[in-house]
A and B are shown apart, each in its own frame.
Chain A
Amino acid sequence: DAKTTQPPSMDCAEGRAANLPCNHSTISGNEYVYWYRQIHSQGPQYIIHGLKNNETNEMASLIITEDRKSSTLILPHATLRDTAVYYCIVLHDYKLSFGAGTTVTVRA
C-alpha cells in the first residue's frame, strides 16, 4: 500500500470545522483512501473512504484532489468527543495498517 504522511498533531476549537490533511503521492489507481480514528483504549472507528470522488457521510467529508495525491478529512463541527488519533490509510486489498496518525485535540 502507498505510504501516507500526516501531521503529528493538531488542535481544534469546539464547534469549528477540523480539516485533517493527508499526503499520499505514490497512490495507485486502484487504491482507496480510508480514514479511521481511535479514541484512547477503544477499538478503531471507521469514518469514511473514497476512491476518486469526494464523499460525505454523517460523520465527515472526504475531499480527494484531482490527481489523488492528497486528501483532506473534514469534521464539520468538532466536539470534545472527536478528540482522538486519526489515521489516513491507502488500501489496495483488505489488510489495514495504521501509521502514526494525527493526534487531534478539540478544546472547549
Chain B
Amino acid sequence: GAGVSQSPSNKVTEKGKDVELRCDPISGHTALYWYRQSLGQGLEFLIYFQGNSAPDKSGLPSDRFSAERTGGSVSTLTIQRTQQEDSAVYLCASSTGVSPAYEQYFGPGTRLTVT
C-alpha cells in the first residue's frame, strides 16, 4: 500500500522567507509526527498530532515553527522567517496509535536548505 509521502522533496529558500512542508500519512493512521534530522543533532522530535489536535508541541524550536493537520489526514509544517540553522531534513511519520507499542512509518523527508 501507499506509504507516507512528503512534498517537496527538496526546498531551497532565502533567509527570511516562509516555507510550507506537506505530509500525507498512511491512510487510516490517526497519529502523525514531525521530526527533523541534521548532521549535528541526530533525529529531533518536533510535534505530534492525534487526529487534528496536537497534544505535544514541546519539540518545536521556536514560535517561528507551527503545524496543523486538517481532516485527520494531511499535515503542514510552516516555518516563518527561515534562518540558516533551520536547514535540515524534515521527516514526517505516522502510526495507528500513540504508544510505544505502535511502530511509526516515515516518509522520505523534505531537505530544506536556507541560503
Question: B-contacting residues of A (Cβ < 8 Å)?
Answer: 30-32, 34, 42-46, 49, 51, 91-99
Contacts and interface: CB of A to CB of B under 8 A. Distances in A.
B105 A31 contact: no
A74 B35 CA distance: 27
Nearest to A31: B100
Q: Closest 8 interchain pairs by CB?
A: A43-B106, A95-B45, A91-B100, A98-B43, A32-B100, A43-B108, A44-B106, A46-B103
Q: Chain A's interface: helix, strand, loop or mixed, by majority? A: loop
B42 interface: yes
Interface string B33-77: 101000000111100100000000001000000000000000000
Q: Chain B's interface: helix, strand, loop or mixed, by majority? A: strand
B31 interface: yes
Interface of B: 4, 31, 33, 35, 42-45, 48, 59, 91, 93, 95, 98-101, 103-109
A92 B104 contact: no
Contact of A94 (B33, B42, B43): B33
Contact of B100 (A43, A92, A98): A92
Nearest to A87: B43
B42 A96 contact: no
A77 B33 CA distance: 32
Q: Which of A92, A96, A97 has the most CB of B within 10 A?
A: A96
B100 A93 contact: yes
A95 B91 CA distance: 13
Q: Which of B4, B33, B42, B107 has the most CB of A within 10 A?
A: B42
